[in-house]
Structures are given as structure tokens and as C-alpha cells.
Structure 1
Amino acid sequence: MEQKTYYFVGIKGTGMAALARVLHDQGNAVLGSDIEKETFTQAPLLKAGIKILPFDPANLKPGMVVVQGNAFDDNHPEIKRAHELGLTVLSYPEAVENEVTNHTSIGIAGAHGKTSTTALLSHVLAAVEPTSFLIGDGVGKGNDNDRFFVFEADEYRDHFLAYHPDYAIMTNIDFDHPDYFNDIDDVRDSFATYGKQVKRAIFAWGDDPNLRQLNVDVPVYYYGTNPTDDFRAENIQRTPAGSTYDAYFRDEKLGTFTIHLYGEHSVLNSLAVLAVAYMEHIDMAEIKKELANFTGVKRRFSETDVADATIIDDYAHHPQEIKATIDAARQKYPDRQIITVFQPHTYSRLAAYLEGFAKSLSRADKTFVTPIFGSIRENAGNVSSADLEQRIPGSEGIDMDSMDKLLQFHNAVVVFMGAGDIEKYEDKYKELLNN
């Protein structure tokens, strides 16, 4: 493949950073620009030798291919300069689509479970066959001669409509992103459009009524735990060490598989991985080994032990994700108190899912709710953290000045959940425990 020089506008974004690493690994020259504030994606970019510059139109040089981050419009000074120089400017989804068309590609879509499933499939395939991958938590890897390209296909603002993969995994359809989609029908229509762009087959969760309505031009194989599913998990045993199950494709037993992951959703994610591997004729013994040694994803059920507490960090910010995270914590720690600290993410999101959040968080033994992580783009509106607290029996508010409320719990599992800056509460709690 011809080597190029790629310039990323907004290189620290999670998807952008991952794609920059893929293109760099393939032997291209890669650099980019962003704000000075440090992000978790920054160190891996610098470690790979990818230069990060402050925004400046003078950074653009003839011959570069410019990748435009989703957060930047055509009025950005660097993008304007790129057009003045006559450079090729690709949107982030267009740049990903280039990778999609050059490999046997698998795009993972769904309101929940995308990142975990993408990471699991990437881990398993990469251990068996040369594989490039692009994960939504900022992780990307590639080389020139890869057979597979595994990537996260995000439905937000219909970004996934840029992609035409060989296979698609669809974990679920839910009304997410109320700032973009009007209703569930709107979301389902987008998934159907994406599904019509898939070239070979779709693997979809069988319990999702919206996915059961998919009308597409390729075979749809459903995975789940029911007799009506094509790929099935039977005899599931969930213990504090993980889950073990027998996998079937219709009447054919594929084997007995173990994952050291927690929650029912982890079994489903691993079934989707098995389905792809089966269709690509990959040895099930290899798959079995790699499923068993996968340990998880950053900010998805990440655990730390401090003093007598087990602290779990999770990106969950939708009622279904919260339910799944608490379910996973109960499986791994059946005899311990589960305490949740939840940070609502934007006023519009809290208003849209108020009842759902309350129902899911009520599954914990005790819930604390932080102030809302507001967006500068929206007004406070008519909803507050107190509205959520009122709906959860025994819950309380908590903020940076009252984190010592958590010190009353001993030998507990404390789960911090949210998509804003929930880590600052977590760090404060760790500091209190250490002192």
C-alpha cells in the first residue's frame, strides 16, 4: 500500500486517536493538532511517535491527507487552509471507510455494548489472524497485511452510514442520543439503512424486538439464549470467577466456552464473537483459548482495590448499561454490599431517562447521586439530581465536599458510573481511603 502523510484535526478524540494509531502502524507518517489540555489518549499517541501540535493553519503542508474530526466544521482555520491548498480532506467516517474496504471488515453497532464487543472480537481475532482494529476507547492497532478490520460503528449523528462492512454485529437498538434522534422509530430506520449496506451477514441479538424487525438484503443470524436463536448459549453457569456455557449454531455444538467477564451481557457479546469466527472458519479451539484470557476494557468494569473497598469504574450512562453493570457486580461479588455513585450526564439526558435511571439504580444496595455534568450547550431546564434521588429509595446526594459519606461502608463494592468527569469523585474517594 502506498505510504501517505496524514494530518488529524482533533487528533486526541477517542476515535481519531485510535485511527491515527492504525494508520501509523501501517507505515504512514501521522501527525495532528488539538487543544493543549491533556487527555487519556495523548500518552499512547506520543509513545508511538505521533506528533501533536497546537492548532495552526501553518501546520498544513502540500501532499498531506487531512482527517477532519467530527467536532470540527469547515470554518475551522486548519480545514479552511487545507481546502486552500487543495488537499484531500476526509471526514473521520470517510477515513474509517477506507480501512473497511481494504479488509474483511466487521462493524459493531448498538446503543450499548459496542466498545466491549469490539474489544473482545479484536482480542480474539488478532491472536489468531492478522487483524487491525479501532475501538471507541481510543485504542487502535494496524499493520499492512491484515486479513480483518474490526471497528466500532457509532450510530450517533448517523456516522455509521458512511460504512459498508462485510459483517455487522448489532448488539441492540435503543432510544439513545435524544439530542439527535426523534424517537425509537428514527433509530430503527438508521440501523435498517446501515444493515442494507452490509455485504455478507449480520449477527443480531435475538431478544431485541427492534432487531427482529430488520429488513435487509443479507442473512441475519440471531444470537442469544432462546431456542429460536441461530447461535445459542445453553447451560450457562455464572460464578464469581466468570461464566461458562455450551455454544450451538442451530443443531451443531461448537464447544464449551469460559469467559472471565461478568454479567449476562458478557455472555451475549462473546456469542457474537463466536458467530463471526464460525462464519470465517476459524478454529474453535483457538477461539476458546482467547475468550478465556480476555480481561476487559478501560472504563468498562475496571476494578481497583483500595483499603477494604473494591472500586469499579464504568462508563455506564444509560439505564440498560447501569442495570448490566450492577448485574455484573452482583455476579462477581455476591456476598458484598453494592454501593453506586452515579453522575447524570446532561440535563436533557436525565430528563429523557429519569424513570429508567431510577429503576436501574434501585438495584444497588445504596445509591449516591452527584450534581449533573452539564453541557455548556444546554440550559439547566426543569430537572435536577434531586428529582432522581426522590425516585430511588434511600438514595442521597453527594458532591466533592461530602465524599466522606462513603467511608461509612466497609468491605463494600463501590461502583462509579457516568460519562462526564466522574473520575474526579473516584479520585477523591481513593484519597480519603488512603488517608
Structure 2
Amino acid sequence: MTTLQQTAQKSASATPHIENENKIIHFIGCGGAGMGPLASIMLERGWIVSGSDLCENKITRTLQASGVKFFLGHDMAHLPEHCGLVVYSSAIKSCNPELEAARQRGLRLLRRGEMLAELASSYRRPVAISGSHGKTTITAMLAHIMSKCCNGCGFMFGGKLNHGPSAAAGDGDIFITEADESDGTHALIKPWLGIIPNIEDDHAWSVGGRDKLFDNFRVFGMQSRKIIYVDFPETRTLFFGHPDAIIIPNSTSAYEHPQFTGFLGLNAALAVAAATELGIEIEAARAALDSFPGVTRRMTIHYETPQMMLLEDYAHHPTELKASLDLLRMRYPHHYLRVFFQPHRYARLERYAEGFAEQLRRADSVFIAPVFAAWVESGNQNHETLASATGQHAIAINGNWQQQAALIMQNIPAGKPLLLAVIGAGDLEQVIPHVTAAMSRLTELKLQDN
């Protein structure tokens, strides 16, 4: 029996379920993309919710506005006097004062993924989307379909819709969530329906290696009552023999719709297939998906004129980068493609450096920002080594976001409209306002010249 299976068995037999708690809960690191929606759902379910984080952001401000007591910074005094449950994110170190105080007081502690597994188990039909790429978009698509087609659907995902909430408690029947593989806790979830779009070795370094990562996926899939997966050699092998599996062909034409081309077509096909398993007529599901607003930072257009376009995407793995560039080249074949890329995590860059370089060579010009460290300060590879491996048309740049925006807007060649693609999962979205302002100024100057 694996460690995660033992953890799940122990949790089921010896640990009290969240429904038996005193309904006072504290989140350490509540400003995270995975923590904020959890806090929101627990508040909606009638719990007294508090949380802390080192910085304020949109998530913490939204939580505050909804009634969550928020503390800026971490201090043992932030723990509620009668707290029954403490949830902490993967970013929280063991020496965190709130975590240490919770241990000293003997409070029940759950990692974010453990809390999600318990929350999911409280619904009659939990639906979990796991895999290496596309989880957030598929989860958001399915939640959108179900919200349009029926009442009372619960859901949560780490991204943010362009219009609409990213979490809802629901009525206790259906709960749709993405399940994170980076810490292995997806293997604690036992879905009524599991969805797996793909499996690669991303995050293998954080769970004990490739074999362990793949075994976690196998556990997740095989303990799902039903599964839907895309036909890849890895998924076919891991889920062979599942008694109730739907297999989607690995084709970007799996879903014919002008709004969902390229890899978005596979995402849409999975979401519609899942909706039909949940009882929605296929035509109703497809019609509902027509109004899907999209997820922020996923093929998001921030500025567009006939002469120039600014688009943002979340790709942070070579497979995702390839899919993004394939789609951009297909949609905008006559544009000059300039990519501003930020590597995400030193471990990922080191593992996939050549894969990133291979894909970046497909752009007409490339600018590379410093690595978004994600809690690890340095590595053997950095943005300069990636630029060197990519080739002469790639430049590593430094400076604040305004300075980097000025650099990537220089030397724009004439003759073709510019497509500037800002790509990465770190904090490079902060460059967007500066680039938008620069593009607006250029547009105004051209109008004045005419």
C-alpha cells in the first residue's frame, strides 16, 4: 500500500470528518489561488472563517468583503480561540508561527489538498479534474455548463473567470474541482467522476520521482467510480481495466467549434462529455458552452488593433508552450510573433530547458524574464542560459516591469502586424498595464501621423 493510500485509509477510519467539526476554521496562506476558493466555500457553508497571508491581493480583498476575517502577516495570535480546523497551503513553511501554535494547541491540521479531499467527500457526486495540463480551463468549462443547465452545482478552481465566480458551495449533490498533482493529494480524492486530459512527468521532483507521480495518477483514476480520459499511451496504460471509462480521441478536432480551436477543442470535448455523464443533454451542454467567458491569463486578449495585439497565456511547460504557439500560429498566421516568456520554477526549467528552447525558437523574436522562483531561490539554469540555448533572436532582460515593457516594445519590425504574446504562470502579468500603455501611445502617434 502506498503512503498516500495509507494516509487516505487513516483519514477515513481515524480522523473526524469536516462535518463533525465545530465550524470554526482558519486558513494559513488564504491569498493563494487554491486556498481562497476553499475559504469562500466554507464561509458559504456556514462556517466562521479567518485567514492570514503575507500580502493582500484580490483574493484576500474578496474574502474580506464576503465576511472572512483577514490578518496581514503571520502571528500565533491570529488563530481563533475556539478554532476547530486549520488549513495550510504548500507555500507555508513548518516554522510558520501559526502552524507551530496550532500544533502546540493540538488543533487538527490539514494541507490544502487534504481539506479539498474531505470537502469533496461531503458531496454525493464529486467530480475531479486532474492531469498535467488544462485542469483549470476544463474545470471552469464544466462548472459553467452545469451552472447554466441546472441549479445547485458546487465548484471551485484556481483560476478566475473573465466574468463570474471561481467557487460556489452548491446544494450538496454535484461538486466540480480541479485536483492538484504537485503534492500528490489528488490521490486522496475519490471522485464519482474523474477526468484526466493528459499525464506527463511535470512535478515529479516534488513527489518522489516519475514512478511515484504516475502511481498517484493511477490511484486517482482507478478509485474514481467513472473516468473520462484522453487517449495517450500513459493514460491507456495507467487506467487499463477500469470498469467504467470513456476514452476521448487525442485530436484537436474532437470538438468542432470556431471558439474552441486547437487544444481548447480537447478541453471542450472533455467538459461536454462530463456534463452528459452528469445528466445534461449533449445539445444543451454545447449550447451552454457557447457563452463560456474564458479564464483569465488563458489566451486572453488585452489589446487589439489592426496593427498590434497583446495576448496573455498561462503556458509554463514545453507541451503547453507548444500548444499555445500552435494555436497562435493557426489563428494569426500573418502576424509577427514576439514572445515574452517567464520560466516558472528553477526545477522545471532545469528539467525541460531544451524543450522550452525548442518551442521558443518558433517565435520571430523572444524576450525572457528572470525565473519566477516559487519558493526556490536559484538553480543551475536561469533566464540567461535559456536565452542562449534558444538562439540569437532571444534576449534575456532584467529590471522592473515598466523597464521590461519598454525593452520588449523596442525594434518592432514594419511590414506585419505585431502579436506580442506574454506567456508564463508567474507574476509577469504585472507587465500587461505597461505594455498596454505603450501600445496605446504608439497607436495614437500613428493616428496623428495619418
Q: TM-score range by the shorter chain?
A: 0.7 to 0.9
Aligned to 1:379: 378
Aligned to 1:131: 153
* Alpha-carbon separation, structure 1, partners of 2:347 and 2:290: 40
Letter in 2 for 1:48: S
Letter in 1 for 2:421: V
Aligned to 2:238: 214
Give yes or no for the alignment of 1:309 onto 2:327.
no
* Alpha-carbon separation, structure 2, partners of 1:421 and 1:212: 36
1:369·1:389 contact (CA, 8 Å) conserved in 2?
Answer: no
Summarize the Cα distance change of 1:374–1:146 in structure 2 as closer, same or farther, 3 Å threshold: closer
Aligned to 2:227: 202
* Alpha-carbon separation, structure 1, partners of 2:97 and 2:371: 33
Summarize the Cα distance change of 1:383–1:46 in structure 2 as closer, same or farther, 3 Å threshold: closer
Letter in 2 for 1:204: Y
Q: For 1:332-371, what aligned pairs fall within 5 Å after superposition? A: 332-371=331-370
Shift of 1:144: 5.0
Aligned to 1:19: 38
Letter in 2 for 1:317: H
Q: For 1:323-334, what aligned pairs fall within 5 Å after superposition? A: 323-334=322-333
Unaligned runs of 5+ in 1: 227-232, 237-243, 246-257
* Alpha-carbon separation, structure 2, partners of 1:167 and 1:345: 31
Q: What is the aligned length?
A: 405
TM-score by length of 2: 0.82
CA RMSD in angstroms comes to 2.6
| Structure in which a larger fraction of residues adopt strand | 1
Aligned to 1:174: 200
Aligned to 1:241: none
103-112 or 409-418: which moved more?
A: 409-418
SS at match of 2:370: coil
Aligned to 1:223: 248
Letter in 2 for 1:289: A
142-151 or 350-359: which moved more?
A: 142-151
2:76·2:101 contact (CA, 8 Å) conserved in 1?
Answer: yes
Percent sequence identity over aligned pairs: 28
Shift of 1:90: 2.7
1:39 pairs with one of 18, 32, 57: 57
Shift of 1:382: 5.3
Summarize the Cα distance change of 1:328–1:62 in structure 2 as closer, same or farther, 3 Å threshold: same
* Alpha-carbon separation, structure 2, partners of 1:25 and 1:142: 8
Shift of 1:109: 0.7
Q: Deviations 1:141-197 (Å, cap 9, x if unpaired)?
A: 223514211111111121212211111111111111253256543332221122232
SS at match of 2:338: strand
TM-score by length of 1: 0.84
SS at match of 1:41: helix
| Structure in which a larger fraction of residues adopt helix | 2
Summarize the Cα distance change of 1:303–1:32 in structure 2 as closer, same or farther, 3 Å threshold: same
Summarize the Cα distance change of 1:384–1:405 in structure 2 as closer, same or farther, 3 Å threshold: closer
* Alpha-carbon separation, structure 1, partners of 2:186 and 2:153: 20
Shift of 1:18: 0.9
1:124·1:291 contact (CA, 8 Å) conserved in 2?
Answer: yes
Aligned to 2:288: 290
SS at match of 1:151: strand
2:204·2:210 contact (CA, 8 Å) conserved in 1?
Answer: no
1:418 pairs with one of 386, 404, 424: 424
